[in-house]
Chain A
Amino acid sequence: MTRALWWRRLDHVQPLLAGMLAVLGLMTVFSAHADWGRQVLWVILGAAAYVAAASFDYRRLRSLAPGLYAGMILILVAVHLVGHTALGARRWLSVAGFPLEPSELSKLLLVVVLAAYLSRGERVSDRLSDRLSWRAFGGALLLVAPPAGLILTQPDLGTTIVFLGVLFGMLFLAGASAWQLFSLVFAGGVALPLLPYLLHGYQRRRLEVFLDPNQDPLGAGYNLVQARIAVGSGGLFGQGWLHGLQGQLGFVPERATDFVFAIFAEEFGLLGSLVLLALFGTLLIRLLRTAAVSRDRFGELLAGGVFVMVLVQVVENVGMNIGVLPIAGIPLPLISYGGSAAITMLAALGLVQSVAVRRRTVDEPVAELGTITRRAQA
Chain B
Amino acid sequence: MILLGGSLPRARWSKRLVAAASMAVLIIGGLAVKLAYLQVTDGATLAGMARDNTLHRVAIYADRGIIYDRHGAPLVTNSPLWNLEVVRAGLPLEARARTGELADLARITGEPEEKIAATLVAADPYASVRIGPDLSQAQQLAINERLPVLAGVSMVQRAVRNYVEPTVFGHVVGYVGPLNEADLKRLRPLGYQPGEVVGKVGIEAGLETVLRGQNGWADVEVDARGQIVRTVGMQQQVPGHSVYLNLDADLQRATAQTLAAGLVRDHRTAGASVVLDPRTGEVLALVSLPGYDTNLFTHGISQTDYSGLLNNPDRPLLNRAIAGQYAPGSTFKMVTATAGLQEGKITASTMLNCPSYINVNGWIYHNWASYSLGWMNVAKALATSCDTFFYQVAAMVGDVTLAKYARAFGFGNAQSIEMPGVMPGLVPDRIWKQLQCGVPDLNSDACRWNTGDTITFGIGQSYLLTTPLNQAVYVAALANKGQTMKPTLVHEVRDASGHAVQSPQPEVTGTVPASEANLMTVREGMRQEINPPYNMNYWFRANGVPADGGGKTGTAQWGGSGLDLPTHAWFVFFAPYTQPEVAMSVFVERGELSEVQAAPIAVQLMRFYRDHVAAIRS
Q: A127-B14, A245-B54, A372-B2 are in contact. Are A232 and B223 (CB under 8 A)?
A: no
Contact digits for B12-24, partner A, Cβ 8 Å, 1 yes 0 no: 1111110111001
**A169-B20, A288-B21 given as contacts; is B8 within 8 A of A9 (CB)?**
yes
Give B194-222 as 1s and 0s: 1 = Cβ < 8 Å from A's Cβ atoms: 00000000000000000000000000011
Q: Which of A270-306 contact B (CB under 8 A)?
A: 270, 273-274, 277, 280-281, 284-285, 288-289, 291-293, 304
**Contact present for B54 and A251 (CB under 8 Å):** yes
Q: Does B49 contact A (CB under 8 A)?
A: yes
Our pick among A127, A232, A281, A362 for the contact of B28 (Cβ within 8 Å) is: A281
Chain A 305-323 interface 0/1 with B at a Cβ cutoff of 8 Å (1 = within)? 0011001001100110011
Q: Which residues of B contact A324 (CB under 8 A)?
A: 31, 34
Separation of A359 and B8 alpha carbons in the complex (Å): 9
- Chain B nearest CB from A8 CB (Å) reads 7
Enumerate chain A residues within 8 angstroms of B3, measured Cβ to Cβ: 361-362
Indicate if the CB atoms of A292 and B11 lie closer than 8 Å.
Answer: yes
Asked if A228 and B2 sit within 8 Å, CB to CB, the answer is: no
User: Are A277 and B32 in contact (CB-based, < 8 A)?
Assistant: yes
Binds A, one of B36-44, B327-335, B354-362: B36-44
Determine the residue in chain A with the shortest Cβ distance to B21: A288
A269 within 8 A of B: yes
Task: Decide if B565 is an interface residue (CB 8 Å cutoff).
Answer: no
* Known contacts A307-B24, A359-B8: A233-B47 contact under CB 8 Å: yes
Q: 8 Å CB contacts to B: which residues of A27-86?
A: none
User: Which residues of chain A are within 8 angstroms of B20 by Cβ–Cβ distance?
Assistant: 169, 172-173, 288, 304, 307-308
Select A173's contact among B16, B49, B51, B229, beta carbons within 8 Å.
B16
Instruction: Assess whether A236 is in contact with B43, with CB atoms less than 8 Å apart.
Output: yes
For the complex, is B138 an interface residue (Cβ under 8 Å from A)? no
Contact of B50 (CB < 8 Å), options: A233, A236, A308: A233
* Bound: A269/B21 CA distance, A: 26
1/0 per residue, CB under 8 A from A, across B222-258: the answer is: 1111000100000000000000000000000000000
Q: Is the interface of B mostly helix, strand, loop or mixed?
A: helix
Q: With a 10 A CB-CB cut-off, give which of B38, B51, B223 has the most chain A CB atoms.
A: B38
> Contact: B16 with A129, CB < 8 Å?
yes
Tell me the chain A residues, 125-177 only, with Cβ under 8 Å from chain B: 127-129, 169, 172-173, 175
Taking the closest CB of chain B, its distance from the CB of A358, in whole angstroms, is 12
Interface of A is mostly: helix
The reply to whether B28 and A231 form a contact with Cβ atoms under 8 Å apart is: no
Distance of B448 from chain A, by nearest CB (Å) = 74
Of B14, B39, B53, B125, the contact of A232 (CB 8 Å cutoff): B39
CA distance A230 to B39 in the complex (A): 9
Q: Which of B396-451 contact A (CB under 8 A)?
A: none
| In the bound complex, CA of A13 to CA of B39 (Å) | 30
Is B533 an interface position by the 8 A CB rule?
Answer: no
Q: Which of A329-372 contact B (CB under 8 A)?
A: 359-363, 372
A residues in contact with B35, CB < 8 Å: 231, 265, 270, 273-274, 277, 318, 322
**B46 at interface, CB cutoff 8 A:** yes
> Which residues of chain A are near B1, meaning CB under 8 Å?
361, 372-373, 376
Q: Which residue of A lies closest to B13 (CB)?
A: A292
Q: Do A172 and B16 have beta carbons less than 8 Å apart? A: yes
Interface size class, chain A: 35 or more
User: Residue A20 at the B interface, CB < 8 A?
Assistant: no
A129 CA to B3 CA, complexed, in Å:
27
A314 touches B28 (CB 8 A): yes
When the two chains form their complex, are residues A249 and B221 in contact, meaning their CB atoms are under 8 A apart? yes
**Cα distance, A361 to B3, chains bound together (Å):** 8
Rounded to whole Å, the gap between the CB of B38 and the closest CB of chain A is 5
User: In the complex, which residues of chain A have a beta carbon less than 8 angstroms from the beta carbon of B88?
Assistant: 218
Question: Chain B's nearest CB lies how many Å from the CB of A114?
Answer: 15
A5 and B4 form a contact (CB under 8 A): yes
Q: Find the residue from B20, B45, B53 having the highest chain A CB count within 10 A.
A: B20
* A25 interface residue (CB < 8 Å to B): no
Residues of chain B lying within 8 A (CB to CB) of residue A233:
43, 46-47, 49-50
Task: For B222, list chain A residues within 8 Å (CB).
Answer: 249
Complex contact B38–A228 (CB within 8 A):
yes
Bound-state CA distance A5–B8 (Å) is 10
- The minimal Cβ–Cβ distance linking B199 to chain A, given in whole angstroms, is 38
| Cα distance, A270 to B47, chains bound together (Å) | 13
The answer to whether A363 and B9 touch across the interface, beta carbons within 8 angstroms, is yes
Known: A218-B125, A270-B35. A285 touches B21 (CB 8 A): yes
* Best-buried of B36, B43, B50, B222 by chain A (most CB within 10 Å): B50
Looking at the assembled complex, report how far the CB atom of A147 sits from the nearest CB atom of chain B, in whole angstroms.
23
Give the distance in Å from the alpha carbon of A169 to the alpha carbon of B24 in the complex.
Answer: 11
As a 0/1 sequence over residues 221 to 252 of chain A, the CB contacts with chain B under 8 angstroms (1 = contact) are: 00000101111111110000000011001110
Q: In the complex, which of the residues B10, B34, B39 contacts A235, with contact meaning CB atoms closer than 8 Å?
A: B39
B8, closest chain A residue (CB): A361
For A249, the chain B residues whose CB sits under 8 A away are 53-54, 221-224, 229
Cβ of B547 < 8 Å from any Cβ of A? no
Q: Does B76 contact A (CB under 8 A)?
A: no
- Residue-by-residue, is A249-273 near B (CB-CB < 8 Å gives 1, otherwise 0)? 1110000000000000100011001
Complexed CA–CA distance, A173 and B15 (Å): 9
For residue B459, CB closer than 8 A to chain A, the reply is no
B25 at the interface (CB under 8 A from A): yes
Assembled-state Cα–Cα distance A172/B19 (Å):
10
Query: Looking across the interface, which residue of chain B has its beta carbon closest to that of A129?
Result: B14
Complex interface: chain A residues within 8 A of B34 (CB): 322, 324
- Is A229 a contact partner of B50 (Cβ separation < 8 A)? yes
Given contact pairs A230-B50, A249-B54, A175 touches B16 in the complex (Cβ within 8 A):
yes
Interface centre among A251, A284, A323, A359 (most CB of B within 10 A): A251
Contact flag A250-B224 (CB < 8 Å), given A232-B46, A245-B54: yes
- Chain B 53-89 interface residues, beta-carbon cutoff 8 Å to A: 53-54, 88-89
Of the A-B pairs whose beta carbons lie under 8 Å apart in the complex, a sample of 28, sorted by A's number, is: A129-B15, A229-B49, A230-B50, A231-B46, A232-B43, A232-B45, A232-B47, A233-B50, A236-B43, A245-B50, A245-B51, A246-B50, A246-B53, A246-B54, A249-B54, A249-B223, A251-B224, A265-B39, A269-B39, A280-B28, A285-B21, A288-B17, A293-B11, A315-B27, A318-B35, A323-B38, A360-B9, A361-B3
**Ranked 4 nearest A-B pairs via Cβ:** A232-B46, A250-B224, A233-B47, A292-B11
